[in-house]
Amino acid sequence: MIAGRSISSRLTIWFSSVFFAGLILFGAVMWFDLKDTMMTGRERTIERRADRLSDLLREIDGDTRDVQADKFQAFADATGGGLIEVLNSAGARELPSPMAAEGFSWPKFKPLPQEQFREIEYQGQSYLVLSRPFPLGSRMLTLRVAAPLEGNRPILHTFTIGLLWTMPIMLALSALGGYLLSRRALKPVDEITTATRSISVSNLSQRLPVPRTRDELQRLSETCNAMLERLEAAVSEIGRFTADASHELRSPLSFIRTVAEVALRNRGADAQSRRAFEDIVEECSKASRVLEDLLTLARADAKAARLVFEPLDIAELVSAVCEKARVLAASHQHSLTLSFVPPDAVHAAVRGDYSSLRRLIWVLLENAIKYTPAPGRIEVVIQPSADRVFLSVRDNGMGISAADLPHIFERFYRADPSRSQQEGSGLGLAIAKWIADVHDASITVESREGAGSVFQLDFPILREPVHESPSQSFSRPQFDSVNR
């Protein structure tokens, strides 16, 4: 029942359960011990009273019958409320019993080899009765002394009420204490968990905090950090390989494409050869584009992308990209519209790299055009606010399934077969996500299969012109998807 709970909750439940069970056991032991102690004390009181009665009987053994009766009555009046009697071996009273003992519900008489205690009920109250054999001269007498137990009950009742009130309070305090202790003990685990969740391929250089506790948590953190170092080295090696391979393959592909283009200029080539050369040129273009995308992501992973951050009018940039995208949209029989909310909000300044932002917007427009069946409608909306500017790209295309939505920004991820029929490397949205991240922007998507998709960019708006420092200025990137 508690398997799905957090460790702190389980520790609290187990600690409280054990504590509560121990408290119940302790209370029960103390209750029975108190009862036994009080009963033992009552027995000793009755025994002392019987001892004094024995001494009295020895003292008055030679007196006359009347004197014995008087002294016995005086003793009974002075001790125990008169609940005493002396019986002979036949069970008859040896001395006249006090008035209190006359109607008392004494146990049935029988000769006993040794003294015996019995608990009886009389008029709704509990009494403890001691029956003791007592030799006096040649006679064997039986002394019987009784005392009420009602004095014990209030104490036991008070103790029981105290236990019943104390147990829930102690349980609550133990649960609170257990929870606080477990949370304090597991706080390093939460810190390790939070730090681990924040680490991804893009920030493998980050390390977990190492608590200096010389325990399992410290060893766990050190082990995880060692693993992260190995992963960082492996990912860096993969990134270098990707970048080197992409760079080295560009020259052969360019050479193959150039040769094919030159061959196409030969008017004497037959039709079959020309088709083959055209296919070579087309496939080389596709391969070059994939290599360029891989090189871009490799540079991004290595934080070696060459970006120039400067104040930009995002509305003007989007308008320019939309103008170029309308040609592509028209070739797919789509309409592409750009609108502003409010209509006069035709300017919105952001800080960013012009080429990479243009590529980001082109990726979203190209995807909308590619995955919208003809004739389709693509709408671009720019909506500035007090501190943010929102850019939405909406289409009425085939949409994205709920299962694919969490993965569409992953590299090389291709969605369901209906979308995979379109050409693409699965890197465009990964590049778009990277560009958005380096611009402190967020990119989100809402989509429903068969009803279209909405990609939304959220940029921080630029209030004042920003003067670039030398450390922030780099040369322009060497890619431009718009003109491909």
Interatomic CA distance for residues 310 and 425, integer angstroms: 30
Domain count along the chain: 3
Residue 348 placed within a domain: yes
Residue 268 placed within a domain: yes
Interatomic CA distance for residues 339 and 137, integer angstroms: 127
Domain boundary among 140, 155, 170: 155
Q: 229 with 288, same domain?
A: yes
Residue 254 placed within a domain: yes
In the prediction, which pLDDT does 468 show?
A: 43
Asked whether 431 and 297 are in contact (CB, 8 A), the reply is yes
In the prediction, which pLDDT does 41 show?
A: 82
Q: 250 with 132, same domain?
A: no
Q: Could you please report the per-residue DSSP string of 371-387?
A: TSPSSEEEEEEEEE-SS
Per-residue pLDDT of the chain (484 residues; tens, 9 = 90+): 455 566 677 777 877 888 888 888 888 888 888 878 878 888 888 888 889 888 888 888 888 888 888 888 888 877 766 788 888 888 888 888 777 777 788 888 888 888 888 888 888 888 888 889 988 888 888 888 888 877 767 777 788 888 788 888 888 888 887 778 777 777 777 777 887 777 776 677 778 778 777 777 788 888 888 888 888 787 777 767 666 666 667 678 777 878 787 777 877 778 888 788 788 888 888 777 777 777 777 777 666 667 888 998 988 999 999 999 999 899 889 999 999 888 877 788 888 999 889 999 999 999 899 888 888 899 999 998 888 899 999 998 888 888 888 888 887 776 655 544 555 567 888 888 888 888 889 999 998 888 889 999 999 988 754 444 433 333 333 334 343 3
Q: 244 with 391, same domain?
A: no
Q: 149 with 235, same domain?
A: no
Domain CATH code at residue 281: 1.10.287.130
Q: 38 with 71, same domain?
A: yes
Q: At residue 279, what are phi and psi to the nearest 5 degrees?
A: -65, -40
Q: 128 with 241, same domain?
A: no
Q: 297 with 344, same domain?
A: no
Domain that holds residue 369: 310-472
Residue 288 placed within a domain: yes
Q: What's the pTM?
A: 0.51
Nearest to 110 by CA among 156, 142, 138: 142
Q: Which residues contact 402 (CB under 8 A, 6 or more apart)?
A: 449
Q: 32 with 92, same domain?
A: yes
Residue 90 placed within a domain: yes
Asked whether 451 and 317 are in contact (CB, 8 A), the reply is no
Domain CATH code at residue 20: 3.30.450
Domain CATH code at residue 409: 3.30.565.10
Domain boundary among 252, 280, 301: 301
| Residues, the chain | 484
Q: 17 with 123, same domain?
A: yes
In the prediction, which pLDDT does 423 show?
A: 57
Q: 333 with 458, same domain?
A: yes
Residue 357 placed within a domain: yes
Q: 280 with 334, same domain?
A: no
Q: 436 with 326, same domain?
A: yes
Asked whether 383 and 389 are in contact (CB, 8 A), the reply is yes
